[in-house]
Structure 1
Amino acid sequence: MPIDTCIFDAYGTLFDVTAAAREAAAEDGFEALADTWQTVARDWREKQLQYTWLRAVTGEHVDFWQVTGDGLDWALEAADLSDPKLRDRLMQLYWDLTAYPEVPDMLGALKDAHKATGILSNGSPEMLQGAVTSAGIGRLLDHVLSVESVGVFKPSSKVYDMVSRAFACEAGNVLFVSSNGWDAAAAKGYGFTTVWVNRQGLPMDRLDHRPDHVLPDLSSLPALVGSL
């Protein structure tokens, strides 16, 4: 089936999840983060994801903003950083995360090719709106879909179901793009054609399904879509 709808995960795919720690480390007053920001960013992201999976399994759902704060608290304690002002600044920066540089042109090229575009994310509606507005990409997206509509995090099939309802399309018409290998694998099992944006050159996850395509970033995605 032809691809007419391109759906993106948000955090780590369109928006750089390391940006908050990197930017805070360069600011006056947060010199204690300078030598550890990469570790903090890594631990923050890992705990954020782990908490979504655990909450999806147990059914104890909270919104992604709480999960993000809980993950940061763990990462800061692990790094022996206890400055409340640093925590507040990191959370503020996460609200306005920097988009990867190729994102606006990539989305613009998809719109020029008459493809529907959207976000499907664990993020809360308010968080996603903050990031989309900060990046200036709202006009390039047809829908921004949050798991808060179904009350469970990825990789629940209830999340992927949201795409067909919002875009009135079949799963076979959807290209789903994520920087998370497990997300791309789950979406492939669901029935989407999938792209794993493997920015870190990581090994393939050992799961039942594998993404159809692997890219190092999003710059070549419009060409890939054009070939499908």
Structure 2
Amino acid sequence: MPYAAYVFDAYGTLFDVHAAVRHHAGDVGPEYQRFSELWRAKQLEYSWTRALMGAYRDFWQLTEEALDYTFQRIPEVDRSLRAKLLDAYWKLDCYPEVPAVLRSLKARGARVAILSNGAPAMLKSAVDNAALDTVIDDIFSVDALRTYKTAPAVYDVVTTSYRLYPGSVSFQSSNRWDVAGATKFGFRTVWINRTGMPDEYADLGPSLILPTLEALE
């Protein structure tokens, strides 16, 4: 095995963050894509600003607050959908290739783990819903540290727990900012660029860029 552990970001990498709104697109209406994108953008923004302020709230609280903001910004969407959308977020679809890729890595003897901003209960629900509980060895949440990526201490959770040097860990994320943080920490990084976004953080480039997880080695 080239790497002792393969560690995955959860949201956007293993699980489709836009599935919650997409499953209710008919009720949300023609603005469903914009609605979903804004919800995700504010969720991330809140995590970064609270990490910088040292004013932690767990990711589920931020998800709720971001949704409430989105309803205010796009008032034509019926606010009575709030409970349905939040419930759907606990059961996000995983991307089609994910189960086979994780099983293959595990069969080759690697540790397979999640390192996520998500709250523990959120992550467990997503993993169980996708039937990935038998292939994922560990779920590492920032909740134990009460801060968010890209704080170096978050990535250090993996190396400390597994007693590995950073270079022995392959870290996969669809979030370019997350890849930058993990690269700075010393992980081998793979950017899963599912939507063909332009590159950024030129001084903190990934080791590999893939459109999906299928070609991961």
Percentage identity across paired residues of the two chains? 43
Any gaps of 5 or more consecutive residues in structure 2? Answer: none
Partner of 1:40: 35
1:11 and 2:6 are equivalent in the alignment: no
Q: Which amino acid aligns with 1:129?
A: K
Match of 1:198 among 175, 193, 202: 193
Separation in structure 1 between the aligned mates of residue 6 and residue 170 of structure 2, nearest angstrom: 5
Shift of 1:82: 5.8
Shift of 1:207: 4.9
CA contact (8 A) 1:143 1:166 kept: no
Q: Which amino acid aligns with 1:10?
A: A
1:124–1:41 distance in 2 versus 1, CA, 3 Å: same
Shift of 1:206: 2.9
Query: C-alpha deviations, 1:119-176, integer Å up to 9, x for none?
Result: 0000000000000000000110110000011110000011001001222211110000
1:52–1:134 distance in 2 versus 1, CA, 3 Å: same
Partner of 2:173: 178
What TM-score do the two structures reach when normalised by structure 1? 0.92
Q: Which amino acid aligns with 2:78?
A: D
1:163 and 2:158 are equivalent in the alignment: yes
Shift of 1:77: 1.6
Separation in structure 2 between the aligned mates of residue 180 and residue 119 of structure 1, nearest angstrom: 14
Q: Which amino acid aligns with 1:12?
A: G
Separation in structure 2 between the aligned mates of residue 141 and residue 168 of structure 1, nearest angstrom: 18
Tell me how many residue pairs correspond in the alignment: 217
Q: How does 1:1-228 map to 2 (within 5 A)?
A: 2-26=2-26, 30=27, 33-81=28-76, 83-221=78-216, 225=217
CA contact (8 A) 1:116 1:142 kept: yes
What TM-score do the two structures reach when normalised by structure 2? 0.96
CA contact (8 A) 1:53 1:153 kept: yes
